[in-house]
Amino acid sequence: MPDLPDTSDMLPKSQIFRVALRGDAILTSPRWNKGTAFTTAERKAFGLTGRLPHRVNTLDEQCQRAYDQLQSHENAIRKNSFLQSMKDQNWVLYYSLISRHLRELVPIIYTPTEAEAISNYSHLFRRSEGLYLTFSDKDTMEEQLLEQTQGREMDLIVCSDAEAILGIGDQGVGGIGISSAKSVIYTLIGGTDPHRSLPVMLDVGTNNEELLNDPLYVGWPHKRVRGKEYDDFMDQFVQLIRKHFPNSLLHFEDFGVTNAHKLLQRYRDEHSVFNDDIQGTGAVTLACTMAAIGVTKTKLCDQRFVIYGAGSAGLGIAEQLRDAMVSTDNVSEEEANSKFWLIDKHGLIRQSLADVREDLKKFVRSDEEWKDFAGNGKEIGLLDVVKHVKPTVLIGCSTHGGAFTKEVVQAMAEGCERPIIFPLSNPSKLVEVDPKDANDWTKGKALLATGSPFPPAKMPNGKDYVIAECNNALIYPGLGFGSMLSQSRKMTDTMIIAGARRLAALSPALEDPDASLLPDFGDAPEVNFEVAVAVAEQAIEEGVAGVKWKKEEVRERAREKIWKPVYGKYEYDEHGAN
């Protein structure tokens, strides 16, 4: 990977904060609490002398102690709960600890462990994780928002209605866990100030029978609200965000595909809105594909793409690849569309299929193309499509674990020299193929990337093949930070493509074709910093930025704005922050 800036020199200069909280109030504020790291002078000033043991610890010592405690929890879900409690106690310690062990701890607080925490949410509940806006309380939505934000400026709102959480479906109020985890990643990897971000759960009910029948379910025990009532509720929410936080980024996560697409189209010209499953996944997959075709020395328009799973992610990926093909390879949109075969649970999306979603119509295959197909009239499944189309790229975002069988993978490998295979479904148990198997079945020829972290596979020459983590977290924090930094009025497709290109340019495979297609997740903060700079520069260039900077200033401004988990120096001031 090309050299990246050392982020340690991005630490803010020693900061002095005037704080109005004393005693228990400062010890129980995760924003201000330093625990045993309060200095002797601060202990006197904030009424803490008798409330803490004698010794003053450094942040390094606190991180060491916390890491040791974490190791005593034997499984991932317990570690997740422990870290959740730490977040409730002390933000600097929480973010600093995870930053020091990024590759090890991101899978604990995010994908895949967060899926388990979300599905057990009502049983694990300890305390509030953000703002819960419930349909039945919609008349007081504005009061609830203002009560929660207490006059704070907000840079970022991450919301979910939890209809399609990762690959585990409708999770009702547990969906706050994804809003919260995505917000944490924004801070950890993107540099967003946690005090200026808000996770939101839009509780419009759930159709998950198990939750509805669970006496301990803590959400609104009601079937999902649909239609005009749903649209009005969402509109009420979006208009409040626009009114009170006009410069914020509004991030949508894990909505059902129909609402995801509709909400994005409805608001994308009014406010800076972003759908992670559609746009974030599209962007990271574009970057990963660009890296892979760099290895095969082909162009985007030379590929035949089979996308298995035509929901938010599948559609977002197809559109992003298509748009990039049009802009880089100079082909018409129609020709670019013809390079895609999308499959959902009813088989190949083609003309004679009933009820094809409006947003998929441009990717519908003609019946003419399949007229000689033996199973005509029936669903056309993945294996048949692979045999017939001979794809060069096979992408999975279906939630159908194990769908890329040995037969499918080998059929693909017969049709091309270096099959590009990205099984992206999360969490790990839903991956379409274990990358180790795909590697073995293709004798190390497949170029692979997955949505969740997987261990390296062995190449026939005995070398490790590092599996790229093609998860939107490698790009969305940078896309978002770039938009917030430049105070963009909207997040345009060209800003997203600029971010994806920057990520692709950082691929280790550019220098070594046997290396991972994407940068290591351990480098995610530096990578996302680069993405953010590219996005903000593009926003300035195309005139959607609110700031009046020159493009050359962006990098320095980004360094100044980035939030880092370090303790500032506190002075007591009754009119200070709380």
Positions touching Mg ion (CB under 5 A) are: 254, 277
> By C-alpha distance, which of 112, 63, 460, 471 is closest to 276?
471
In the complex, minimum distance from the CB of residue 360 to ligand NAD, in angstroms, rounded to a whole number:
9
Task: For 187, list phi and psi in degrees, rounded to 5.
Answer: -75, -50
Q: Which does 119 bind (CB under 5 to 8 A by kind): ligand NAD, ligand LMR, Mg ion, none?
A: none
In the complex, minimum distance from the CB of residue 264 to ligand LMR, in angstroms, rounded to a whole number:
14
Rounded Cα gap, residues 299 and 307, in angstroms = 18
Check if 387 is active-site. Answer: no
Site for ligand NAD contains 79 (CB under 6 A): no
Rounded Cα gap, residues 475 and 523, in angstroms = 12
- DSSP SS3 for 506: coil
Check if 551 is active-site. Answer: no
Exactly one of 94, 110, 132, 217 is catalytic; which is it?
110
Options 254, 344, 523, 530; binder of ligand LMR; rule CB under 6 A: 254
Exactly one of 79, 182, 339, 564 is catalytic; which is it?
182
Options 80, 84, 171, 398; binder of ligand NAD; rule CB under 6 A: 398
In the complex, minimum distance from the CB of residue 117 to ligand LMR, in angstroms, rounded to a whole number:
12
The CB-nearest residue to ligand LMR is: 111
In the complex, minimum distance from the CB of residue 383 to ligand NAD, in angstroms, rounded to a whole number:
12
> What single string gives the DSSP state of each residue in 281-298?
HHHHHHHHHHHHHHHHT-
> What single string gives the DSSP state of each residue in 22-79?
-THHHHT-TTT--GGGS-HHHHHHTT-GGGS-SPPPPHHHHHHHHHHHHHTS-SHHHH
Dihedral sign for Cα 212, 214, 216, 217, please: negative
Site for ligand LMR contains 492 (CB under 6 A): no
Strand partners, 423: 396
Helix (H) or strand (E) holding 340: strand 340-344
| Number of shown-chain residues binding ligand NAD (CB under 6 A) | 29
Q: Which is nearer to Mg ion, 90 or 472 (CB)?
A: 472
Helix (H) or strand (E) holding 142: helix 141-149
Site for ligand LMR contains 276 (CB under 6 A): yes
Site for ligand LMR contains 159 (CB under 6 A): no
- DSSP SS3 for 379: coil
Q: Which does 430 bind (CB under 5 to 8 A by kind): Mg ion, ligand NAD, ligand LMR, none?
A: ligand NAD
Site string for ligand LMR, 163-192 (x = CB under 6 A): ---x--------------------------
Rounded Cα gap, residues 128 and 147, in angstroms = 14
Site for ligand LMR contains 426 (CB under 6 A): yes
Q: Which is nearer to ligand NAD, 397 or 438 (CB)?
A: 397
Contact 539, 483 (CB under 8 A): yes
In the complex, minimum distance from the CB of residue 575 to Mg ion, in angstroms, rounded to a whole number:
42
| Number of shown-chain residues binding ligand LMR (CB under 6 A) | 9
Helix (H) or strand (E) holding 302: none
Site for ligand NAD contains 424 (CB under 6 A): yes
Site for ligand LMR contains 111 (CB under 6 A): yes
What stretches of 416-543 show up as alpha helix (H) in DSSP?
435-441, 476-485, 493-505, 524-541
Site for ligand LMR contains 472 (CB under 6 A): yes
Site for ligand LMR contains 471 (CB under 6 A): yes
Q: Which is nearer to ligand LMR, 26 or 517 (CB)?
A: 517
Region binding ligand NAD by CB under 6 A among candidate stretches 145-153, 229-237, 396-404, 504-512: 396-404
- DSSP SS3 for 139: helix
Q: Which does 311 bind (CB under 5 to 8 A by kind): ligand NAD, Mg ion, ligand LMR, none?
A: ligand NAD
Residues numbered 21 to 50 that lie near ligand NAD (CB under 6 A) are none
C-alpha distances out from residue 201 to 177, 220, 312, 350, Å: 9, 11, 19, 36
Question: What is the C-alpha R_g of the chain?
Answer: 24
Options 238, 287, 293, 310; binder of ligand NAD; rule CB under 6 A: 310
Residue 344 structure tokens: 């959902």
In the complex, minimum distance from the CB of residue 476 to ligand LMR, in angstroms, rounded to a whole number:
8
Q: Which does 535 bind (CB under 5 to 8 A by kind): ligand LMR, ligand NAD, Mg ion, none?
A: none
Amino acid at 10: M
Pairing of strands 340-344, 305-308: parallel
Rounded Cα gap, residues 292 and 524, in angstroms = 19
Q: Which is nearer to Mg ion, 272 or 281 (CB)?
A: 281
Q: Which is nearer to ligand NAD, 166 or 321 (CB)?
A: 166
Q: Which is nearer to ligand NAD, 311 or 419 (CB)?
A: 311
Reading across the β-sheet that carries 131-134, which strands appear in turn?
Answer: 131-134, 197-203, 156-160, 249-252, 273-275
- 493-505 vs 312-329: helix axis angle to the nearest 10? 80
Contact 284, 474 (CB under 8 A): yes
Q: Which does 323 bind (CB under 5 to 8 A by kind): Mg ion, ligand LMR, ligand NAD, none?
A: none
Q: Which is nearer to ligand NAD, 346 or 551 (CB)?
A: 346
Q: Which is nearer to ligand LMR, 276 or 432 (CB)?
A: 276
Residues numbered 429 to 488 that lie near ligand NAD (CB under 6 A) are 430, 451, 470-472
Please count the other Cβ atoms lying within 10 Å of the Cβ belonging to residue 24.
11
Interface with ligand LMR by CB under 6 A: which residues?
111, 166, 254, 276-277, 426, 451, 471-472
Report, as residue numbers or ranges, the catalytic residues: 110, 182
Where do contacts with ligand NAD occur on this chain (CB under 6 A)? 164, 166-167, 257, 277, 281, 284, 308-314, 343-345, 397-400, 424-426, 430, 451, 470-472
